[in-house]
Structure 1
Amino acid sequence: MTGPAGLATRSVTPDLARGLLLALIAVANAHLYLVARPIGYRGYPVELPGVDRVLAVVQMVLVDGRVYPLFAALVGYGLARLAERAPERVLRRRGLVLLGVGALHGVLLFPGDIIGAYGLVALLCAPMVASSVGSRAASRALLVTAGGLAVVGVLLSTGQGTPQGVPTVPSIAAPTVAAFLGEHPPAWLVTTVFSALLTAPAVLVGVVIAQSGTLDDPVAHRRRLAVWAVGGLGAGVLLGLPLALAVAGTWAPAGATGALVGAAHAAGGYAGALGLLGVMGLLGSVSWPGRDLVAAAGTWSMTLYLSQSVVFVAVFATIAGGLGASASLVTATTVGLATWLVGVLVAGPLARAGHRGPAEIVVRRLTYAGARRSP
């Protein structure tokens, strides 16, 4: 068994995708910190003003419900690469470590944490991932399993077509630190199990994508990436538009219609994630200013994801900056994008100089405890 791969051996495009994805994660999460107002669909405030309304529609069809399946696909890519150089027990250990990191993140900062969900999926799917290395039949089995799980995920998402009524992260409005922390453990546990069910299909698809080599040589696979981009984004927009219009206050689906709209949004999330991955793959196939800096920051993806929560709590929580009670959607989104940009400008140069992110160091050390490291 070998240890973790060195930074110099990594493919640029997957890391570029992670770096760009961090911006989308910041956008997807920022509105969840808006509290002290009526909350409608998908955690968005009701009765949004004009500019916020337009922004919400754009986010709903391109970002909301699309980002975490994309993140999951990149997690699957990483698991596939890990499986190529390490036995199944290391994959299981990686899952346990991610579950632990997610628990700390969810309990201390953000109960909507997704790392724990990915850890749970990695833990449960480790045998399938390990056995799929070098096997086309096993890869096909992964896709079939992913398809079945996606159907389950879509059915579980019918409730998305109903207004929430309460903030997704109510602890942001908590008046004390004790109240803030007290709400997190049960919320994190429920979120982790539910998110694992929703993102498991994308993790398995990410394993197959890694085995196809599409992201490792995007120049040779531009046609495939273009099909993903056009088809995935097109389907994501069409399936997400009904719920996006509900968020904007244009209509209010009810009953069976609401359930259908919620399911369609979830299905569009899987398609949209593939479309975004196609776009990122195409961006990785050409050179452009800042590409390598963003890709370098992508090697710090877990550290930067966790740091976003630190910033958001500091800015929006009532026990800190308190901006969550008054900020507009535009303001929240701006804070999110600014946080991403600062992260890239800080982490990118450090990564290019050969430094790993703090969270990445911890995860690697715990995953490869006792294993021989590669130079």
Structure 2
Amino acid sequence: MNQPISPPAQRITALDALRGFALGGIFIVNIMVMSKPGGFSDGPAHSLVTALCYDKFYVLFSFLFGYSLTMQFRSAERANANPRARTVRRCLMLMAIGLLHITFLFTGDVLFGYGVAGLALLALSRLRPKTALIVAAVPFTVSLITITAMNMLHADPSMSAAERATALAAMRSGWLDAASYRWDVFAGNAHVFLMFGLFNALPMFLIGMVAGKARLLEQPERYLPLLPRVQWIGFTIAAPICALAAVTDWPLAGPAHLVAPLLSAAYAATILRLLQRYSVVQRIFAPAGKIAATNYIGQSLIAAVIFTGYGFALAGKLAEWAVLGLAVTIYAGQLAVSAWYVRGHRYGPIEWVLRAATYGTLRPAHTETHSAATS
């Protein structure tokens, strides 16, 4: 039986703008692997992305996921529906979309891990804020210790030359061969996807959940006074450590992982402050954030056409700086298309599927105007 749909609620502009902003950094990190198996070689382009983007934007995206969960719970309460059942269905659909994404487009998918971590977050959703923050510290600490140990032991997780050659041939092959290769990679590394969800995404989910329960981003007067300090800590302490780690070997990988969320917070603080001063920031980023899942899958689809046998098979053929320029161009195009799209559509295609799974009913993906959009 179809579940009741909650009444419309006003969107939180800050959430949409932050999601839209994070999409750019996520794509810049992902395109390093989308364009060439094993990612960029050591050099200026790799160092720049590592210092500014790597481990920064998925942190922000994960925080926002946790925040959004609390809004979904409120929505269920308004509709007298079961919030836990809704969340389970949403997470299962995320995992299903993630598996399709992995198989047909990009092995670096995060949606599968988000679905797993979302189920874990649901199990922990009744924790008190202070307890939730303590629990968040546990998997993050495990991740930090693991990265530090691997760095101290000089463990090299990168692909061998033979593995790169096999992956490159698969990327340039037909869709069936490429899909088979990607599935084999996932099946052999499923534990990695699970570990990403539980040890990297879940801590940020929990922090976002705490902020969401406090409705922090819904009350600018509460967070605006804190933002200059967040920027100072992120840009003067975290940024130099991340930059040094990007160009230096042992022993800075552990500290860089530790402070990366601080730099991510500084980025978010900057966007939030700009939102209060310049309305154009909202117009640029918020539309893309409203259909963030569609844009995320869209990035992989566009990259697949460019780099794999689905299209031009340019994997490994473009200079790394050209790849970064291409990423910025595609992202700018997404921002423009998103601004046009949301004027006549309430949800993106992927958001429509997720909403249908969450609510157990079908809803039109168009014909509703921007002003009628809901959280």
* Common topology (TM > 0.5): yes
- The answer to whether structure 1 residue 280 and structure 2 residue 278 are counterparts is no
Give distance in 2, aligned partners of 1:101 and 1:233: 36
Give the SS at the match of 1:327: coil
Bigger shift: 20-29 or 273-282? 273-282
Alignment partner of 2:100 out of 96, 99, 104: 104
Q: Alpha carbons of 1:215 and 1:76: their partners in 2 closer, same or farther (altered >3 Å)?
A: same
Alignment of 1:222-301 (within 5 A): 222-246=224-248, 253=249, 257=250, 260-301=251-292
Alignment of 1:95 onto 2:85: no
Q: Give the Cα–Cα distance (whole angstroms) in 2 for the partners of residues 169 and 14 of structure 1.
A: 41
Task: Give the conservation status (yes or no) of the 8 Å contact 1:314–1:320.
Answer: yes
Contact 1:172 1:324 in 2 (8 A): yes
> Helix, strand or coil for the counterpart of 2:277?
coil
| Residue ranges of structure 2 left out of the alignment (5+ in a row) | 77-82, 365-372
Checking the alignment, whether the CA contact within 8 Å between 2:89 and 2:358 is kept in structure 1 is yes
For this pair of structures, how many residues does the alignment match? 346
1:32 maps to amino acid: V
CA contact (8 A) 2:137 2:203 kept: yes
Task: Give the structure 2 partner of residue 76 of structure 1.
Answer: 66
**Residue in structure 2 matched with residue 187 of structure 1 by the alignment:** 185
Structure 2: how far apart are the matches of 1:2 and 1:372?
Answer: 12
- Match in the other structure for 1:157: 147
CA–CA separation in structure 2 for the residues paired with 1:304 and 1:191:
24
Distance 1:27 1:169 in 2: 23
Contact 1:173/1:317, CA 8 A, preserved across alignment: no
Residue pair 2:4, 2:359 contacting (<8 A) in 1 also: no
Q: Secondary structure at the match of 1:359?
A: helix
The corresponding residue for 1:31 is 32
TM-score after normalising by structure 2: 0.83
**Are positions 1:85 and 2:79 aligned together?**
no
Equivalent pair of 2:13/2:282 in contact (CA under 8 Å): no
For the residues of structure 2 that align with 1:103 and 1:320, how far apart are their CA atoms?
Answer: 21
Cα deviation for residue 355 of structure 1 reads: 2.8
C-alpha distance in 2 between matches for 1:105 and 1:278:
31
> What SS class does the counterpart of residue 252 from structure 2 fall into?
helix
1:313 alignment partner, one of 304, 314, 324: 304
- Residue type matched to 1:95 in 2? C
Which residue number in structure 1 is paired with residue 369 of structure 2?
Answer: none
Partner of 2:131: 141
Identity %: 20
- 2:26 and 2:57 in contact (8 A); partners too: yes
Contact map agreement 1:95 1:120 (CA 8 A) in 2: yes
TM-score (norm 1): 0.83
Q: Does the CA-based 8 Å contact 1:99-1:115 persist in structure 2?
A: yes
Q: Within 2, Cα distance between the matches of 1:25 and 1:227?
A: 25
| Local SS of the residue matching 2:107 | coil
User: What is the correspondence of 1:186-205 to structure 2 with a 5 Å cutoff?
Assistant: 186-188=184-186, 189-196=190-197, 197-205=199-207
Inter-partner Cα distance in structure 2 for 1:168 and 1:206: 37
Task: Work out the CA distance in 1 between the residues paired with 2:72 and 2:346.
Answer: 20
**TM-aligned CA deviation for residue 169 of structure 1:** 11
Residues in 1 aligned to 2:243 and 2:14: alpha-carbon distance in whole angstroms: 29
